[in-house]
Amino acid sequence: MPTRARERLLDTAEELFYAQGVRAVGVEQILTVSKVGRASFYRHFPGKDDLVVAVLERRDRRWREWLAERVAAHGGGPLAVFDALAERFARADFRGCAFINTMVEAADPAGAAHRVAAGHKDRVTGYVESLLTAAGHPRAAALAPQLVMLMDGAIVTALRERSAVPALRARAVAETLMGAAGEPAAP
């Protein structure tokens, strides 16, 4: 059975990749910070690229779990996703969406990292559609991609403005879009 070296590598790599970018972080730095031996690293992963994919796959799972939890805490309506984003944007270490960042950094659209990132957004879109359906919205399938596009716009804008305001801006747009008087903002 494996010890905890693999988890430490994933934890450290996820943090460093997100904070500095995948290309900017060398294997050396990951080993130093995680205190994992060089040999152990290559025992667990064929190479750096495979670590990147493993990190993204785990983050995909965890991020969507986090989103579902925060949406529930904010009332469970479709607009709650923007309240969740606002929380995210306010964190000091916020540096955009790891999957958008990956697609930007990994220029090759056929690369594994690109595929994982694209898959993540598909799953988020499916989740948003389920929220819309649960809320009884008639045009859920058409509205979900629009809301996800708003989320991505808010994320990019928040990265630029270094503020949580874009989440509220996107929420207001979404509210108008849904043609609803709007659920009340989360407490």
Q: What does the binding site for its own copies look like in residue numbers (CB under 8 A)? A: 19-21, 23-24, 95-96, 100-101, 103-105, 107, 109, 117-118, 121, 145-146, 148-154, 156-157, 159-160, 162, 166, 169-170, 172-173, 176-177
Q: Which is nearer to DNA, 44 or 64 (CB)?
A: 44
> Whole-number minimum distance, CB 40 to its own copies, in Å?
27
Residue among 11, 15, 21, 29 that touches DNA (CB under 7 A) = 29
Q: Which long-range contacts (CB under 8 A, 24 or more apart) does 135-142 make?
A: 135/77, 135/78, 137/78, 137/178
**DSSP code of residue 45:** -
Q: Rounded to a whole number, what is the distance in angstroms from the first to the last CA of the chain? A: 45
HSE value, Cβ hemisphere, 13 Å, CA-based, for 99: 24
SS3 129: helix
Which region among 29-37, 58-66, 84-92, 134-142 touches DNA (by CB under 7 A)? Answer: 29-37
The contact set with DNA (CB under 7 A) reads: 1-6, 8, 25-29, 35-40, 42-44, 47-49
